[in-house]
Amino acid sequence: MNKPIRTMAVGCMVLFLALLLNASYLQFVSAGDLNDRNDNRRVRDAEFSRKRGEILVAGSKVAESVPSGDVYKYQRRYPQPFKYAHATGFFSYLYGASAVESNQNDVLSGSDSRLFVNRLVDTVSNTQPEGGSVSLTLDPRAQTAAFDGIQQLGSGTQAAVVAIEPATGRILALVSNPTYNPNLLASHEFEAVESDWKRLTSAADEPMFDRAIQGVYPPGSTFKLVTAAAALESGEYDPGTQVPGTATLDLPQTTKDLPNFSGSDCGGDTVTLTQALMVSCNVAFGALGMELGAGALENQAEKFGFGQRYLDGLGGQAVSVFPEDPDAPLTAYSAIGQYEVRASPLQMAQVVATIANRGLGMVPYLVDEVRAPDLSVLDKTSPEEMPQRAMSASAAGELTQMMVEVVDRGTAKTAQIPGIKVAGKTGTAQSAADRAPYAWFVSFAPADNPEVAVAVIVEDAGVDRNAISGSGLAAPIAKAVMEAVTGP
């Protein structure tokens, strides 16, 4: 009977080998994935009872961990909760984390591989591992200007602001309103946290939704910059080229006409391209769009970043889109940023930042520096170019000049800053008949040596429908941000 016993012995060995291999796979190979799962309470408990790293803006803390004296040892605190909520995000025992708190969790919690040596030292000296700190690119002056500007329209205003440094892609301001208080979610009073969470997530004005990067809206006339860029890039147009300027544009294949916003003509039967942009002439850009074709517009939009996720250091970026294969009349509507064109405030900021940087887009980023608990720099983000140049430098220069005309003499006079040349473009986008139009303003300054590019959208300020316009609602906020950055 020994032969089958030996066979059985081999069989048993195979069984145990399978167990050993499986255990090794589970505890070594897939352990990381399992630890990263959101509902893994062990990892969260450990992270909660650890000194989490700080989130810094220009050297001051916008998120920090302070000793709490309860079982979790540390309490996450946000000194300026409302202003920075959408940048820092929240860190909650019950609901996980969001924004930078989530995206940079490895560093903040101390589990990042770059902190390995620190962890080793902590293990040997038997101290709790600490998290590293994360410095954001935000400029407190720009952030404050943007936040205060929106608050002046009323604290319930639904609006968003993104400001970018054109030469590098650093995000200088990131504001979305209505906002929320992340301290409420970070609290260790779990019952209160639960009710606050329910209230915040079910509120109709979605205070936890980051409109600046997660929302997409019809960009309206601000999209005419993309159409103008496509025209200049085609080589067949320059700022002086004559384009149609009548009161309405007869659209093919349909009985509908495309009217101007004002209802009157744009200054003549034909006008220069500069003049068309200056008065935001729908007829001119609708005709231009049909002339260039949907393909050229889509191509130009993609060069500016439409259809892509490129934001570094923050999750959840919504993709901006140009509609697929619109027919001729819909191409006309698309060319003026209506129909199914959708852009996030971040995307429109990226468009003007690209124009400002002489046609070369930089990848926008929010995390500037990552430091170990001992303050040694672990990583510093270096500016990166977008995959392809959006415009030639000369075309970008021409477009900049046209945008300066818009602010100096056109629809965007409200954005003028004494002593500084500002380039800008307004937009008032219709969405549905029953909801207020979106007021947009995009700009950069100084036009000859840009330090900041801004996009502002006011989605709903609770004002009368007729009072909504890009120049009236959005431009003053953009102006405040530009002044904050370019000022002394």
The stretch among 1-9, 305-313, 366-374, 461-469 that binds other proteins (CB under 8 A) is 1-9
Helices (H), 373-448: 393-409
Least Cβ distance, residue 21 to other proteins (angstroms)? 9
| Closer to other proteins by Cβ: residue 41 or 256 | 41
The stretch among 6-14, 125-133, 143-151, 188-196 that binds other proteins (CB under 8 A) is 6-14
Query: What is the total count of residues that contact other proteins (CB under 8 A)?
Result: 35
**Which residue bears the tokens 């939704």?**
209
The two tokens of residue 415 are 């954005």
| Catalytic entry in 133, 221, 344, 443 | 221
DSSP letter (8 states) at residue 357: T
CA distance linking residue 8 with residue 406, whole number of Å: 87
Strands (E), 7-59: 55-57
With a CB cutoff of 8 Å and minimum separation 6, the contacts of 385 are 360, 361, 362, 363
Least Cβ distance, residue 20 to other proteins (angstroms)? 6
CA distance linking residue 471 with residue 458, whole number of Å: 11
The stretch among 4-12, 74-82, 101-109, 151-159 that binds other proteins (CB under 8 A) is 4-12
| Closer to other proteins by Cβ: residue 43 or 378 | 43
| Closer to other proteins by Cβ: residue 31 or 66 | 31
CA atoms within 13 A on the CB side of 421: 12
Does the active-site annotation cover 221?
Answer: yes
The two tokens of residue 483 are 């002044």
| Closer to other proteins by Cβ: residue 1 or 204 | 1
| Closer to other proteins by Cβ: residue 1 or 432 | 1
The stretch among 9-17, 299-307, 394-402, 427-435 that binds other proteins (CB under 8 A) is 9-17
Least Cβ distance, residue 11 to other proteins (angstroms)? 8
Q: How would you class 377 by CB atoms within 10 Å of its CB: exposed for 0-12, middle for 13-18, buried for 19 or more? A: exposed
CA distance linking residue 221 with residue 223, whole number of Å: 5
Furthest CA-CA distance within the chain:
107
| Closer to other proteins by Cβ: residue 18 or 66 | 18
Least Cβ distance, residue 120 to other proteins (angstroms)? 13
3-state secondary structure of 342: strand
Least Cβ distance, residue 196 to other proteins (angstroms)? 24
CA distance linking residue 95 with residue 38, whole number of Å: 9
Least Cβ distance, residue 97 to other proteins (angstroms)? 18
Tell me the C-alpha to C-alpha distance, in Å, between residue 291 and each of 58, 237, 328: 48, 11, 9
CA distance linking residue 163 with residue 243, whole number of Å: 32
CA distance linking residue 293 with residue 279, whole number of Å: 23
Among 1, 71, 432, 433, binds other proteins (CB under 8 A): 1
Q: How would you class 12 by CB atoms within 10 Å of its CB: exposed for 0-12, middle for 13-18, buried for 19 or more? A: exposed
Residue 66 binding other proteins, by CB under 8 A: no
Which of the residues 10 through 49 are near other proteins (CB under 8 A)? 12-13, 15-16, 18-20, 22-24, 26-28, 30-35, 37, 39-43, 45
| Closer to other proteins by Cβ: residue 40 or 388 | 40
Give the end-to-end CA distance of the chain in Å, rounded to a whole number.
95
- Is the CB of residue 370 less than 8 Å from the CB of residue 109? no
Least Cβ distance, residue 38 to other proteins (angstroms)? 10
Residues of this chain that bind other proteins (CB under 8 A): 1-9, 12-13, 15-16, 18-20, 22-24, 26-28, 30-35, 37, 39-43, 45
Q: Which residues are catalytic?
A: 221
